[in-house]
Amino acid sequence: MRPSLLDPLFARLTSLQGIGPKLEKLFTRLFDREEGGARVIDALCHLPTGAIDRRNQPALRDVVADSIVTVRVRVDQHRPAPPGRSRAPHLIYVSDDTGSMVVTYFHGNARRLEQQFPVGEWRTVSGTVALYDGMLQMVHPDRIVSDEDLAEMPPVDPVYPLTEGLGPTPVRRTVEGALAKMPELPEWQDATWLRQRGWPSMRMAFAAIHKPQAPADVDPASPAWSRLAYDELLASQFALALVRAQMRRPAGRRVAGDGRLRAKVIAALPYALTGSQTRAVDEIVADLGAPQRMLRLLQGDVGSGKTVVALLAAASVIEAKKQATLMAPTELLARQHYATIAPLAEKAGISVALLTGRERGAERKQILSRLVSGDLAMVVGTHALFQDEVAFKALALAIVDEQHRFGVHQRLALTRKGDAVDVLVLTATPIPRTLVLSYFGDMDVSQLREKPPGRQPIDTRTVPLARLEEVVEAVGRAIDTGQRVYWVCPLVTESEDSDLAAADARFAFLKSRFGTAVDLVHGQMRGSEKDAAMARFASGQSRILVATTVIEVGVDVPEATVMVVEHAERFGLAQLHQLRGRVGRGSARSTCLLLYKAPLGETAKARLAIMRETEDGFRIAEEDLRLRGEGDVLGTRQSGMPGFRIARLDVHGALIEAARDDAQLMLQRDAQLTTERGKALRHLLYFFERDEAIRMLRAG
């Protein structure tokens, strides 16, 4: 049960004064709370992006144009819009002893404005001042207060993210209403730690940010914001530590085999394993032989050979007469894994099958019965593997690819298909250390940082779209010499309101030049059509494959040596890195051409510069985090994984280690959270909606 102290915060937003159904709907959109509608806590955690300093209060003669000022002025005269001229502004002439100014309102209600600005009275107005026809002008002031109410005007106004239909005033009022509901919660932080850091209580931290006394108070690096960020990181790390303890508790049987199948797989490889592949396999085999369950994340840069490591891990449990499964987020990726695994598995004598939504009827029945009987050692598939009808005789290892596209709950669901199943998670997204700790803190980590021998560096160039014709000619020369080319566009079809390249249009254009050498693949095609297009490209029937980002991960055609990315400025760094990784997979030299539309913004310029400088996915990931923030890097915005509302990993990343240590220490000392600090920590977990952690505590 959630502590009753928190109930006012989890009440509907309509429990605040002045919030009716219409406003609630707008706030629900602003807080991105489609499920269940906006709540008081959502307003409380809606933190400002900046602040307006109202402390600059010059005389009119000292006002600098194009600045925000707060001035005390006398109202001299009103000049309403003439009748029938609704577009003309309502002008209010004001002055002080040093100069004069016009306050301008468009579509203003004359009677209301005359009440707000009575002639002969003094008013303090705050807003942006500009010069118009040589005279100072303030359009629609942010604040208007009389001398009696002047003490009520805050010295600094927080600036909040808004949505269409919601202006600054209702957002500010709602946040203030939420702040008034914030109770004084029991302190879960260590008193000495708070003193060392100079951090306030949680309630005072929210007050400092929502009612700033100086612009620095709304800086994410401020003591108040850092306090709240640490709270959120601690809640997250504690929940992860509990998941880890829960998943590790069922004693994993020791299932590492004797190495004979692994040796056969390695012998079947056309190259030697890299040092990091060998290390990763050793770490996995050691985990499989330990009495606790394995929870390991295998991070491998593009083309570093994760699938082979996954197969060697599977071989290790198959040697011990157990079964393994590999689950990928898309059918294309599942089929690609299967294409890599099947020939190696066959040479090693390992039976393996593919199970996606497309395997139906008798074929599907046969796969399912072979899994139950234990006749099938390994199955590769999509989320079709979650279905109840899929049962195993002795599942010992679940390998999950690109897991942040699934979410933690699905990871748990797959492990329930067997008894104390070991888990190996693969990701081709090199993840910065701070993100590994914050999202995968419940896992051990292996990294593949080398590429298999014989891989050439990729020559990456940036080319303005104005030189498109030259690029097309270069592509023509490449296919004349037998090379194969990917051409990636950001959209499938062109729309009236977008000037981005669309795959359909580019396909038609290139087909008119190169005929049947050109093929097309995108996410809206049927699975069988996509497979056929990929097969034609892989076999060399087609030489140019026009595609959307559906080819971003898992596509492996070693003969492809040219990658053209159109409107590269519209892609994230990690995505560009993944796309570039589709070439350079053979021994021939490869080229990546990033076409951009000039002029470039600062972020896009920085992104393309990094792509030219380095192929190191881990460095690219760090830069991507710096430029975009953690939600985009990991895809949490799309995947429903819990992003952070308050903590900003580019600012607060250094606090994660401390939060992780604190959570683990607490788990050792007070696993059931029954001490005073433990009870306080329960409030923290509920506050940040880590309810699953509390459920695990109850389950023991």
What are the tens digits of pLDDT across the range 9-25?
Answer: 999 999 999 999 999 99
Q: Nearest-CA neighbor of 632 among 571, 692, 688? A: 571
**Bridge-based pairing state of the strands 143-146 and 323-327:** unpaired
Q: What is the mean pLDDT of residues 60-83?
A: 94
Residues 63 and 174 in one domain: no
Domain boundary among 398, 422, 448: 448
Angle at 595 between CA 532 and CA 592, to 5 degrees: 65
Question: Has residue 527 got a pLDDT over 60?
Answer: yes
The CA distances from residue 215 to 71, 143, 680, in Å, are 19, 17, 32
Domain boundary among 127, 153, 179: 153
What is residue 494's predicted lDDT score, i.e. its pLDDT? 64
CA dist 436 and 440 (Å) reads: 5
What is residue 641's predicted lDDT score, i.e. its pLDDT? 41
* Inter-residue contact 128 to 66 (CB < 8 Å): yes
Residues 465 and 371 in one domain: no
Element (H, E) at 463: strand 458-464
Range of the domain at 573: 458-614
CA dist 43 and 24 (Å) reads: 11
Higher pLDDT: 578 or 311? It is 311
Q: What is the mean pLDDT of residues 117-134?
A: 94
Number of H helices, E strands in the chain: 26, 21
Whether residue 235 is contained in a domain is answered as no
Whether residue 308 is contained in a domain is answered as yes
Whether residue 593 is contained in a domain is answered as yes
* Inter-residue contact 71 to 57 (CB < 8 Å): yes
* Amino acid, res. 330: T
Residues 34 and 18 in one domain: yes
CA dist 326 and 313 (Å) reads: 11
Peptide bond into 599 cis (omega under 30): yes
Higher pLDDT: 515 or 694? It is 515
Q: What is the mean pLDDT of residues 305-315?
A: 94
pLDDT band at 640; cut points 50, 70, 90: very low
Domain boundary among 420, 448, 476: 448
CA dist 414 and 473 (Å) reads: 49
Question: Has residue 556 got a pLDDT over 70?
Answer: yes
For 512, residues 6+ apart whose C-beta sits below 8 A from its C-beta are none
What is residue 410's predicted lDDT score, i.e. its pLDDT? 58
Question: Has residue 694 got a pLDDT over 80?
Answer: no
Q: Nearest-CA neighbor of 311 among 277, 286, 279, 287? A: 277
Whether residue 678 is contained in a domain is answered as no
What is residue 409's predicted lDDT score, i.e. its pLDDT? 55
What is residue 615's predicted lDDT score, i.e. its pLDDT? 87
CA dist 338 and 341 (Å) reads: 5
Whether residue 175 is contained in a domain is answered as yes
Q: What is the mean pLDDT of residues 641-652?
A: 78
Name the average pLDDT for the chain.
Answer: 87
What is residue 56's predicted lDDT score, i.e. its pLDDT? 84
What is residue 102's predicted lDDT score, i.e. its pLDDT? 97
* pTM value > 0.85: no
* Amino acid, res. 576: L
CA dist 156 and 213 (Å) reads: 6
* Amino acid, res. 418: G
For 535, residues 6+ apart whose C-beta sits below 8 A from its C-beta are none
Residues 275 and 422 in one domain: yes
pLDDT band at 497; cut points 50, 70, 90: low
Phi-psi sector, 346: left (phi>0), alpha (psi -120 to 50), beta: alpha
Q: Nearest-CA neighbor of 397 among 300, 255, 264? A: 255
Q: What is the mean pLDDT of residues 557-583?
A: 89
CA dist 487 and 465 (Å) reads: 14
What is residue 145's predicted lDDT score, i.e. its pLDDT? 93
Question: Has residue 675 got a pLDDT over 70?
Answer: yes
What is residue 310's predicted lDDT score, i.e. its pLDDT? 96
**564 has which bridge partners?**
487, 593
**565 has which bridge partners?**
488, 594
Whether residue 689 is contained in a domain is answered as no
Residues 470 and 439 in one domain: no
pLDDT band at 443; cut points 50, 70, 90: confident
Strand order in the sheet with 590-596: 458-464, 590-596, 560-565, 484-488, 544-547, 518-521
Residues 473 and 506 in one domain: yes
Residues 326 and 443 in one domain: yes
Q: What is the mean pLDDT of residues 504-525?
A: 92
Per the structure, how many domains does the chain have? 4
Residues 414 and 269 in one domain: yes
Q: Nearest-CA neighbor of 436 among 192, 257, 618? A: 618
**Count of CB atoms situated within 10 Å of the CB of 697:** 17
Q: Which of 146-150, 189-193, 247-251 has the lowest mean pLDDT?
A: 247-251
Residues 363 and 502 in one domain: no
What is residue 501's predicted lDDT score, i.e. its pLDDT? 67
Question: Has residue 295 got a pLDDT over 50?
Answer: yes
Question: Has residue 633 got a pLDDT over 50?
Answer: no
Place of tokens 């059918």: 331
Residues 509 and 434 in one domain: no
What is residue 657's predicted lDDT score, i.e. its pLDDT? 87
CA dist 448 and 274 (Å) reads: 9
**Count of CB atoms situated within 10 Å of the CB of 142:** 16
Element (H, E) at 243: helix 223-248
CATH of the domain at 290: 3.40.50.300
Question: Has residue 637 got a pLDDT over 50?
Answer: no
Q: What is the mean pLDDT of residues 238-258?
A: 74
Q: What is the mean pLDDT of residues 524-531?
A: 83
pLDDT tens for each residue of 174-230: 999 999 999 999 999 989 999 999 999 999 999 999 999 999 999 999 999 999 999
For 236, residues 6+ apart whose C-beta sits below 8 A from its C-beta are 438, 441, 642, 644, 659, 688, 690
Half-sphere exposure of 311 (CA within 13 A, CB side): 29
What is residue 601's predicted lDDT score, i.e. its pLDDT? 87
Whether residue 671 is contained in a domain is answered as no
Residues 187 and 147 in one domain: no
Whether residue 639 is contained in a domain is answered as no
Q: What is the DSSP string of 573-611?
A: HHHHHHHHTTSS-SSS-EEEEEEEPSSPPHHHHHHHHHH
Higher pLDDT: 309 or 641? It is 309
Residues 178 and 143 in one domain: no
